[in-house]
Amino acid sequence: MKKKNKPAKPQVREDERVEKSKKAVLAATYELLTKAGLSGVSVDEVSRRSGVAKTTIYRHWPSRESLLMDACSQLSSRPTVPDTGAIRSDLEQLACGVAARLRQPWATVMPSIIDAAERDKQLADLQSRIHSQMRAAVVTAIERAQERGELPKSQDARELVAAILGPILYRRFFSREPLDEAFAKNVVERALCKRD
């Protein structure tokens, strides 16, 4: 307890300052991303909005791309894998979680990443990482169900993943219809109908 009341050492204050400006840069990047998509983010504009000098930004992120990657990967943390003991409720929880994320403002950034990925190798890697994060928890839930004999080992996990994530992403980005829990649960029910 006593130690906490001591004045912070200069190094700690320096670290705090660095952390604060990094946070401000990432927040400004996020704001620009959701407002204008990937192509709307320039280091100039991030500097202007965050009040952090360009030289400082480039000290932490050597390029615009690395800043984009960092901002995007912070937005796409891996969901935790539910373990309800039944594949249906596990997948329902995951599907509802993905639907909830896609209702958030940052989801609007996704098409600009996918668009850039069509032409830019570095952004294709970023897109692939974001997608892997989204998919990983679903794959784990499927594999656990296969281990306990609830799903046949012959079940192609990637096809089941497509049957779950596909219709949800389709609703958000292609048909732009409401993406509620009832829809997400129906998707899981339909996906699990075919068990081979």
- Report the interface residues with a copy of itself, using CB under 8 A: 36-37, 39, 108, 111-112, 114-115, 117-119, 124, 127-128, 131, 135, 158-159, 161-163, 165-171, 173-177, 183, 186-187, 189-191, 193-194
Q: What is the closest distance, in whole angstroms, from the C-beta atom of residue 187 to a copy of itself in the complex?
A: 7
For residues 57 and 130, which CB has a smaller minimum distance to a copy of itself in the complex? Answer: 130
For residues 19 and 159, which CB has a smaller minimum distance to a copy of itself in the complex? Answer: 159
Euclidean distance between CA atoms 64 and 132, whole angstroms:
23
CA distances to 68, 89, 143 from 115, in Å: 14, 33, 31
For residues 89 and 108, which CB has a smaller minimum distance to a copy of itself in the complex? Answer: 108
**Residue owning tokens 């979680």:** 97
Q: What is the dihedral of CA 169, 172, 176, 177, to 10 degrees?
A: 90
Q: What is the closest distance, in whole angstroms, from the C-beta atom of residue 71 to a copy of itself in the complex?
A: 17
Q: Which amino acid, residue 172?
A: R
Q: Do 109 and 37 form a contact (C-beta atoms < 8 A)?
A: yes
Tokens standing for 75?
């937005």
Q: What is the closest distance, in whole angstroms, from the C-beta atom of residue 121 to a copy of itself in the complex?
A: 12
Q: What is the closest distance, in whole angstroms, from the C-beta atom of residue 166 to a copy of itself in the complex?
A: 3
Q: What is the closest distance, in whole angstroms, from the C-beta atom of residue 74 to a copy of itself in the complex?
A: 20
Nearest to 51 by CA among 22, 73, 74, 71: 22
Residues whose CB falls within 8 Å of the CB of residue 126, separated by 6 or more in sequence, listed in order: 68, 69, 72, 73, 113, 117
Q: What is the closest distance, in whole angstroms, from the C-beta atom of residue 157 to a copy of itself in the complex?
A: 12
Q: Do 11 and 40 form a contact (C-beta atoms < 8 A)?
A: no
For residues 22 and 135, which CB has a smaller minimum distance to a copy of itself in the complex? Answer: 135
For residues 57 and 188, which CB has a smaller minimum distance to a copy of itself in the complex? Answer: 188
For residues 46 and 160, which CB has a smaller minimum distance to a copy of itself in the complex? Answer: 160
